[in-house]
Amino acid sequence: MGEMMLEQYLKWFKEHERILIIFAVLLVGYFGLNKWLDKSAVDAQIQAATAQQIAQVQHDADAKIAAAVAQQTALFNQAQAQHEQEIASLVAAVASRDAASNQKINQVTQSKDIPQAVADINAVYGATLPTPLTVTEAGSIPLADLQQFAVAKIREGTLQGDLADTRKELDSTSQQLGQATGLVGTLQNQVTGLQTELKDQAAADKKTLDACKATARQGKMKWFKIGFVTGFVTGWFAHR
């Protein structure tokens, strides 16, 4: 009885040898492809998650840069307003000083006698003279020269004041330029960061799309398996 069963099995295997070989080959190929698709889908999902994380990190960094830009811009605008006020004040001071200087020059260059010119010199030079100038000391100095001595002192004081205010203006402008340069640098960092974020997000979107495609291939393989088994069984019964 056992020998008859063995003979029947051998006969059946022999009759279906080609189908069984094809089935075995397809089965091995299916499992190999299925394993590859599973690994490909997992790798694609990991890469998509990593790429999305990178994009999120860059986004957070850009948000911090944007906050820094907003703060620096507010400080720059505040400093700019203060700078404009300082410049206006310095310009007004220079204009007022020059006007006062011209008025003094007009006063000391009016038609006067020697004692009056000496009095103007003493008033203009003040404490810078060790002792007040006397008419005797002025001697035979022409009136025009005495008046020019007074004019020279008036102009010296005016120019020194104007120079000091000009230096303040230059210092303020230099500080403003430094702040502007820093703001431009921060804005450039923001632009660079946004460009990087766009690239990272594009890469993340591509990785996500690849992951979706890999998952779709997994789904197709499942339907292929169903079709393969159904077709094989149907063919086998039809062959019988």
Classify domain 2-239 at the CATH topology level.
Answer: Helix Hairpins (1.10.287)
Tracing tokens 């810078």 back to the chain, one arrives at 128
Residue 225: which of 36, 10, 55, 31 has the closest Cα?
Answer: 31
Report the distance separating Cα 81 and Cα 69, nearest Å: 18
Residue 212: which of 44, 38, 43 has the closest Cα?
Answer: 44
pLDDT digits (tens, 9 = 90+) for 2-44: 566 666 666 656 666 666 566 666 655 566 656 666 777 777 7
pLDDT value, residue 140: 84
* 126 Rama class: left (phi>0) / alpha (psi -120 to 50) / beta: left
Q: Under a CB-based contact definition with an 8 Å cutoff, are residues 136 and 115 in contact?
A: no
Report the distance separating Cα 85 and Cα 188, nearest Å: 29
pLDDT digits (tens, 9 = 90+) for 119-169: 999 999 988 888 998 999 888 889 999 999 999 999 999 999 999 988 888
pLDDT digits (tens, 9 = 90+) for 60-101: 888 887 887 788 788 778 878 888 888 888 889 889 999 999
